Structure formats: structure tokens, C-alpha cells
């Protein structure tokens, strides 16, 4: 999906039902920045194909917005192509954690015959864990060639969350700082983390983006953006206050 002259979204990549996940890329004159790698090699191949086709002569670079496997599972494919993957210094997943992710997928298969066959491995065919090989410790700017992409630390969902802001185009990629049509996933944090999350929402709202690509769900434009931010804020505020999520549905 083309969002602007330079910015694209790759939406609806498969992951764990009912969740699909988004990625995207920003095309400069020399460098194309891929935002998230998808959950497996198959997703990464799709993202790579779109990003390469947009400007074939460009070098590619990947940035992970967080540590969960739906955003980093495709890293291994990009590293096999010799492409650097950047991410927060707090992203460090283990092989055991990745194997546990596959086992959890397999355990969720309702058909016992398919579950016994281990068919979750088909989803992860050719996929191996690769953590970022380049670390981000602070807000940074990538010069893509006549286009600047700002890497912003936006913790809350996890300590490793980043957002990518393209000010000239007004496009913001938030990772799971913002999700639409889903409840935010609070499982990686506690009230202190959610307070950071609220501050990160305030930070990105002050940018006044015209297009927002969430980690999950449809792209938001214009007046949809404050509504999307407020929906996440409400869940965080009521969770901090101790209200059960079941009461918000």
C-alpha cells in the first residue's frame, strides 16, 4: 500500500489468529528502510520483494520496532541476504524462546491430527532466529538519500519499542505502540510500563502525523489517528486503575 511519495505499508501479514501484523518501508534515493521483518521467512520474502521493487538500485536496511517474534521472525531471511538489521539494544531473544513460540503455535491447532503432525513448523518453514546485528541506544536519524527517517524510542508495550517517523511525508510507523481493532497486548508489562506507554503516546501525538501505520490493524489517516490513540489510552488508563480487561469489551 502506497502511503506517500516515499512511504509504503505491507499490511495483514499472517501470524497467530486473530492477529495479523503490519510492516512497511521508506524509500530514499540511496537506501530503503524496511520497518519490521514479519513473523517468518515467507512474510520477509514478501516484504523484501515489495521493497526491492520500489527502487531496485537501493541498498536495504531493516529496523525492528520491538522484540516479539511477529516483528522479528523474518530477520533471518534479511540477514541471509547480507542486509543489516537494526533494533533496540534490549532486543535479545534466545533459540529456546523461539522454539517455545513454535510449540505454542502447534498447541493451538484445534485438529488433533494436524497438531500431532507438528504442522506449525510449516508456518515457520525456513525460519531461524536472528537478533538485530546493529543496536539502537537512543533517538537516531537515518539519511536514506534526500529523505530522513527518525528513529524514536517509544517504550511501553515493551522496553524495546521504537517508532519510525518520516517528517517530510507525515508518516509514522508505531509498531505495537498503537494497534487498531484489537485490544493492546499488555502481557509484557505492568502499570509502571503502561505509564511509559502513555507518555510515548503523548510524544507521537505531538508529531501530528497525517498517516499512522500501527503494529496491527488498519492504517489510520487524518481524524482516525486521535481516535486510535485515545482507544489505546483508555485501555492503559483503566488497566492502571485495576479495571479488568473483560469489562472493556
Kindly report, residue by residue over 91-100, the tens digit of the pLDDT: 999 999 999 9
33 is a domain residue:
yes
The answer on pLDDT for 246 being more than 60 is no
60 is a domain residue:
yes
43 is a domain residue:
yes
**Would you state the pLDDT for residue 248?**
47
Residue 82 phi, psi dihedral angles, 5° rounding: 80, 20
CATH for 140: 3.60.15.10
Confidence of residue 243 (pLDDT cuts 50, 70, 90): confident
**Would you state the pLDDT for residue 7?**
98
21 is a domain residue:
yes
Helix/strand/coil for 143: strand
Class of residue 24 by CB neighbours under 10 A (exposed 0-12, middle 13-18, buried 19+): buried
Residue 119: left (phi > 0), alpha (psi -120 to 50), or beta?
alpha
Residue 242: left (phi > 0), alpha (psi -120 to 50), or beta?
left
34 is a domain residue:
yes
Average pLDDT over residues 200-212: 98
Q: Where are the beta strands (DSSP E) in the chain?
A: 7-14, 20-27, 31-35, 59-63, 85-88, 134-136, 140-143, 148-153, 162-166, 171-179, 211-216, 220-221
232 is a domain residue:
yes
Stated length of the chain = 249
β-pairing, 59-63 vs 162-166, is unpaired
Give the domain range for residue 152: 7-93+129-248
121 is a domain residue:
no
Number of domains in the chain: 1
Across the chain, mean pLDDT equals 96
Q: Where are the beta strands (DSSP E) in 144-197?
A: 148-153, 162-166, 171-179
Dist. CA 35–CA 153, nearest whole Å? 14
212 is a domain residue:
yes
Measured from the Cβ of residue 143, the count of other Cβ atoms closer than 10 Å reads 12
Q: Is the pLDDT higher at 146 or at 243?
A: 146
Confidence of residue 102 (pLDDT cuts 50, 70, 90): very high
CA dihedral 130, 133, 139, 141 (to 10 degrees): -110
Dist. CA 29–CA 122, nearest whole Å? 37
3-20: pLDDT as tens digits: 999 999 999 999 998 999
Position of cell 527518525? 150
Name, in order, each residue with C-beta under 8 angstroms of 198's C-beta and a sequence gap of 6 or more.
156, 233, 236, 237
The answer on pLDDT for 47 being more than 50 is yes
Average pLDDT over residues 153-171: 97
Residue 93 phi, psi dihedral angles, 5° rounding: -100, 150
Rg of the chain (C-alpha set): 18
Please, what is the angle between helix 224-240 and helix 191-205, to 10°?
Answer: 160
Dist. CA 221–CA 8, nearest whole Å? 13
**Would you state the pLDDT for residue 244?**
64
145-159: pLDDT as tens digits: 999 999 999 999 999
Amino acid at each position: 500500500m502506497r502511503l506517500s511519495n516515499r512511504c509504503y505499508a505491507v499490511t495483514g501479514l499472517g501470524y497467530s489468529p486473530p492477529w495479523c501484523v503490519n510492516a512497511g518501508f521508506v524509500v530514499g534515493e540511496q537506501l530503503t528502510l524496511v520497518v519490521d521483518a514479519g513473523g517468518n521467512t515467507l512474510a520477509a520474502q514478501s516484504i523484501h520483494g515489495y521493497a526491492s521493487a520500489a527502487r531496485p538500485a537501493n541498498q536495504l536496511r531493516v529496523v525492528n520496532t520491538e522484540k516479539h517474534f511477529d516483528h522479528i521472525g523474518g530477520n533471518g531471511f534479511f540477514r541471509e541476504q547480507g542486509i543489516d538489521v537494526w533494533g533496540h539494544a534490549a532486543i535479545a531473544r534466545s533459540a529456546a524462546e523461539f522454539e517455545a513460540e513454535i510449540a505454542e503455535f502447534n498447541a493451538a491447532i484445534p485438529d488433533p491430527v494436524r497438531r500431532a503432525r507438528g504442522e506449525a513448523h510449516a508456518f515457520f518453514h525456513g525460519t531461524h532466529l536472528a537478533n538485530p546485528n546493529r543496536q539502537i541506544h537512543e533517538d537516531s536519524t537515518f539519511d536514506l538519500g534526500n529523505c530522513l527517517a527518525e528513529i524514536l524510542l517509544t517504550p511501553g508495550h515493551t522496553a524495546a519499542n521504537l517508532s519510525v517517523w518520516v517528517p517530510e511525508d507525515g508518516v509514522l510507523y508505531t509498531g505495537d505502540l498503537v494497534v487498531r481493532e484489537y485490544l493492546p497486548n499488555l502481557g509484557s508489562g505492568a502499570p509502571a510500563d503502561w505509564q511509559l506507554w502513555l507518555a510515548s503516546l503523548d510524544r507521537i501525538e505531538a508529531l501530528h502525523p497525517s498517516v499512522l501505520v500501527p503494529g496491527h490493524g488498519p492504517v489510520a489517516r487524518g481524524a482516525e489517528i486521535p481516535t486510535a490513540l485515545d482507544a489505546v489510552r483508555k485501555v492503559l488508563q483503566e488497566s492502571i486503575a485495576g479495571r479488568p480487561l473483560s469489562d472493556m469489551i
